[in-house]
Amino acid sequence: MDNALPKASDGPSVSEIQASTTFGRFVNAVANGAAVVAGVAIVAILGLVCIEVVMRQFNKSLQIVDEICGYLNAAAVFLALAYTLRDGGFIRVELVYDRLKGDVKQGVRWLIVLTGLIYVAVLLYFTVTHVYYLYRNDVRAVSVLETPEWIPQTVAVVGLAVLLLQLVAFVITRARNVP
């Protein structure tokens, strides 16, 4: 996704521009909160792996570290999406985009943001449908914990919902700041 709003070197950050509206402040707070939880998940992964390494020195194992760390890794990825988008951290190919000028570049920016919004909305819909299926059919992981799969997959729903909010905030902010 192209960070269609000004970068820090060009003036105010996307976060600062969004903060000019109540909705923007709400989205910033939600994205920041989700990013903090993602950071906590990364620290938890570190802690669990360290505990497992020490325990293996004594021929012991928790036997659930791989599964829990996988869930935490997915949580970290999905919960950090909106924050990463807002702060321009997504990797993007700029070979063609950087050569565009004026109205064509503005049109492509709108196309990118709107396409991303539609894509995430559709992905969120099908993810919610999938999680509901997992819940309704009591699908469980084939593991020691036998985790109900809807629990860790709900994190993907939350992360995608926050990303969708961020994209909506982008559209609102861009509509208010059309050159």
Structure confidence at residue 10 as a pLDDT band (50, 70, 90): low
pTM for this model (two decimals): 0.85
What local confidence, expressed as pLDDT, does residue 7 receive? 46
Residues 6+ apart with CB under 8 A from 40: none
What digits encode the pLDDT tens for the residues 109-165?
Answer: 888 889 999 999 999 999 999 999 999 999 999 999 999 999 999 999 999 999 999
pLDDT given for residue 177 in this prediction? 66
The confidence score (pLDDT) of residue 99 equals 85
DSSP state of 117: H
152 Cβ neighbours under 8 A, 6+ residues apart: 71, 74, 75
Q: Give me the DSSP letters along 71-100.
A: HHHHHHHHHHHHHHHHTT-S----TTGGG-
Secondary structure (3-state) at 148:
strand
Structure tokens at 139: 């699908």
